[in-house]
Amino acid sequence: MQQQKSLVLILARDLADKLASAMFVVDADGTLVYFNEPAERILGRSFADVGPAAMQEWASAFGPLTVEGRPLTLDELPLTVALRERQPVHKQLAVTTPSGEVRQIAATAFPLFARTDEFEGAAAVFWELEG
């Protein structure tokens, strides 16, 4: 039986569809709900190829690194921090495309609440850094 998505996640996905900025949306368990076309261009993968996916799957799929090149742990990813702490977080990091290209990005992740006591998930807006 498929669980119905919350209105907040539906609206976050709709917002992502309308943004020119890259956006990634996960539910309260960290399951990938959606990422938009601008995100596909940066990540080198389409949502249809990746998601929906559990946190461990999507986190490893993008080969996240620190800007110095050290692999990031799941606990260090901005979306994971936003999920765990239910607070916004900003971080510069790198992702690896399927072709092996490393792209520097800046990401701002933030929690999604239906009401102050109803945590629904998190979203991240990110962009590629120059240089």
CATH value at residue 69: 3.30.450.20
Q: Percent of the chain at pLDDT above 70?
A: 96
Task: Answer yes or no: is 1 within a domain.
Answer: no
How many distinct structural domains can be found in the chain?
A: 1
d(CA 76, CA 46): 23
Cα 59 to Cα 31: distance, rounded to the nearest angstrom? 10
How sure is the predictor about 51, in pLDDT bands with cuts at 50, 70 and 90? confident
In a domain, 2, yes or no: no
Domain that holds residue 41: 7-128
DSSP β-bridge partners for residue 108: 90, 125
For 30-39, how does the pLDDT look when each residue is reduced to its tens digit (9 = 90+)? 999 999 999 9
Please compute the mean of the pLDDT values over residues 32-51 and round it to a whole number: 93
pLDDT-derived band at 1, boundaries 50, 70, 90: very low
The pLDDT-based confidence of 127 (bands split at 50, 70, 90) is very high
Write down the mean pLDDT value for the chain. 92
Confidence label for 117 from pLDDT (cuts 50, 70 and 90): confident
Beta strands in 2-101 (DSSP E): 22-27, 32-35, 89-96
- List, in order, residues 6 or more apart from 9 with CB less than 8 Å away: 25, 27, 33, 112, 120, 121
19 assigned to some structural domain? yes
Question: What confidence tier does 59 reach under pLDDT thresholds 50, 70, 90?
Answer: confident
64 domain residue, yes or no: yes
116 within a domain of the structure (yes/no): yes
pLDDT confidence bin for 116, thresholds 50/70/90: confident
Average pLDDT over residues 104-113: 97
